[in-house]
Amino acid sequence: MAEEVVLFGVRGSPFTCRIEIALKLKGVQYKYINEDLDNKSPLLLKYNPVHKKVPVLVHNGKPVLESLVILEYIDETWQGYPILPEDPYERATARFWAKFIDDKCFPAIFKSCWGEEKEREKAVEEVSVVLKILEDELKEKKFFGGENVGLVDIVAVVIGFSLGVYEEAARVELLNKEKLPRLCNWIDDFLSNSFIKESLPPRDKLIAYLRNYYRSDNASK
Amino acid sequence: MAEEVVLFGVRGSPFTCRIEIALKLKGVQYKYINEDLDNKSPLLLKYNPVHKKVPVLVHNGKPVLESLVILEYIDETWQGYPILPEDPYERATARFWAKFIDDKCFPAIFKSCWGEEKEREKAVEEVSVVLKILEDELKEKKFFGGENVGLVDIVAVVIGFSLGVYEEAARVELLNKEKLPRLCNWIDDFLSNSFIKESLPPRDKLIAYLRNYYRSDNASK
């Protein structure tokens, strides 16, 4: 059967990047449709009527929603590169850290750069706490997944890529090389991976876009 | 090998109930340790140093954290009753609704009963919106999992049990039988399931406890 795989995303969204990284690691051919957040397509609204958000992966006409759910779907649907480990305990550990990054790290990173002024300082402190927890979790491993990029690494694109972009765009300092040496090494290794490199949007363009977007008071969108 | 399964929980917590339901459905023998939220045990803090929260499932000495992650771990570790469906697309759909219940339904239900006074009215409206979405998802199915209780049903203990308890304890009305007939039927079927029944705490005692707990201004805990 000729497979049809379509990804609805937004260039620069780390949640979209996650899906692109996973599809590329698996070697899945897909069509990418870029959404305009100010004018969402009828197809996106049809496929994700509950949240009306990207990313949406449409596989043979059927939509899969929510980036963590999509990553598991990709891993279960296509053979080849393993995104999750095989062992149930290691899978649970990876899922725990993926959730930690979504629930604790990304909101703090986002708020510290683009939140309301009064909440930014507290958010910067939160970022340093949660990144230290991740630093300790890395231990002596190259990637969170061990020798190779796995679920947690893919999810952590919000740290491996977005964090640096947000820091520069919002002119906030979040990453201290002396306090977080392992995490900084991980970022270097993460950004050197060719599958990841080709899934990321152009950095300078994104920084310019973000500066303009948040300057024009679109923060609530 | 003699297996050791220990669940650290809090009686009355729907997140703890989820794990008990799943273990009973699988027929797994376990030891239950009830935690006092005002005086958490050193073991709980050792096993969950990041969030310091229940439930924690300790399997042969290794902790598994976060209720959704624990449910997947249980399903992958023990044969027998299937908690998640087999088909990857159905699995993704179940994971989507489980996440929807955790991200959208439970926070709104909780806020509408125990939130700050000024946010309660808005939360009550939110509850009616998200429950209507679940009502529509049920379609003609008996359970979210089809003919049998599955992942989404287990996760939805926050609606099948806690919602009614919170309504009565906080004296708030959230469930309209005329507007949500399928969901109300689902609650009846859910509460009739023997594995679920034996996993739930005594209703009246919990209502009395909640009234007392929140009256004594413990809301921020």
**Residues of chain A contacting residue B26, judged by C-beta atoms under 8 Å apart:** none
Percent of chain B past pLDDT 90, that is, above it, reads: 93
pLDDT at position A216: 64
pLDDT at position B1: 60
Q: What is the mean pLDDT of residues A176-187?
A: 95
User: Do B72 and A65 lie within an 8 Å CB cutoff?
Assistant: no
Largest CA distance in chain B: 55
**Residues of chain B contacting residue A72, judged by C-beta atoms under 8 Å apart:** 91-92, 95
Evaluate if residue B215 carries a pLDDT over 90. no
**Residues of chain A contacting residue B92, judged by C-beta atoms under 8 Å apart:** 64-65, 69-70, 72-73
Where does the pLDDT of residue A221 fall: very low under 50, low under 70, confident under 90, or very high at 90 and above? very low
Lowest mean pLDDT among A98-112, A175-189, B107-121, B205-219: B205-219
pLDDT at position B221: 41
**Closest by CA position to B163, among listed B116, B133, B124:** B124
pLDDT at position A217: 54
Beta-strand pair B5-9/B31-34: parallel
User: Do B69 and A59 lie within an 8 Å CB cutoff?
Assistant: no
Chain B stretch 114-143, residues whose beta carbon is closer than 8 A to a beta carbon of chain A: 133
Domains of chain B: 5-77 (3.40.30.10), 88-215 (1.20.1050.10)
Q: What is the pLDDT of residues B66-102, one digit of tens each?
A: 999 999 999 999 999 999 999 999 999 999 999 999 9
User: Do A77 and B88 lie within an 8 Å CB cutoff?
Assistant: yes
Evaluate if residue A219 carries a pLDDT over 60. no
Percent of chain A past pLDDT 90, that is, above it, reads: 93
Helix boundaries (H) for A33-105: 42-47, 67-77, 88-100
Where does the pLDDT of residue B217 fall: very low under 50, low under 70, confident under 90, or very high at 90 and above? low
Q: How far A89 CA sits from the closest chain B CA (Å)?
A: 7
| Nearest-Cα residue of chain B relative to residue A51 | B100
Q: How many residues does chain A have?
A: 221
Q: Does B73 touch chain A (CB under 8 A)?
A: yes
Q: What is the pLDDT of residues A123-143, one digit of tens each?
A: 999 999 999 999 999 999 999
**Phi, then psi, of A178 in degrees rounded to 5:** -75, -35
Where does the pLDDT of residue A213 fall: very low under 50, low under 70, confident under 90, or very high at 90 and above? confident
Amino acid at B138: L
User: Do A100 and B68 lie within an 8 Å CB cutoff?
Assistant: no
Q: How far B121 CA sits from the closest chain A CA (Å)?
A: 22
Chain A stretch 189-218, residues whose beta carbon is closer than 8 A to a beta carbon of chain B: none
DSSP secondary structure letter of residue A31: E
Two structure tokens written together for A6: 């379509």
Where does the pLDDT of residue A215 fall: very low under 50, low under 70, confident under 90, or very high at 90 and above? confident
ipTM topping 0.90 = yes
Q: How many residues does chain B have?
A: 221
Q: What is the pLDDT of residues A47-67, one digit of tens each?
A: 999 999 999 999 999 999 999
**Residues of chain B contacting residue A99, judged by C-beta atoms under 8 Å apart:** 66, 68-69
pLDDT at position A220: 45
> How much is the mean pLDDT over chain B?
95
User: Do A72 and B92 lie within an 8 Å CB cutoff?
Assistant: yes
pLDDT at position B22: 98
Which CA distances in Å does A122 have to A10, A129, A179, A210, B71? Answer: 29, 11, 18, 22, 33
**Phi, then psi, of A196 in degrees rounded to 5:** -70, -45
**Residues of chain A contacting residue B91, judged by C-beta atoms under 8 Å apart:** 72-73, 76
Q: How far A95 CA sits from the closest chain B CA (Å)?
A: 6
Spatial separation of the C-alpha atoms in residues B214 and A9, rounded to whole Å:
43
> How much is the mean pLDDT over chain A?
95
Spatial separation of the C-alpha atoms in residues A75 and A77, rounded to whole Å:
6
Q: What is the pLDDT of residues B159-214, one digit of tens each?
A: 999 999 999 999 999 999 999 999 999 999 999 999 999 999 999 999 999 999 88
User: Do A65 and B89 lie within an 8 Å CB cutoff?
Assistant: no
Amino acid at A128: S
Q: What is the mean pLDDT of residues A19-32?
A: 98
Two structure tokens written together for A5: 């795989």
DSSP secondary structure letter of residue B56: E
pLDDT at position B105: 98
**Residues of chain B contacting residue A88, judged by C-beta atoms under 8 Å apart:** 73, 76-77
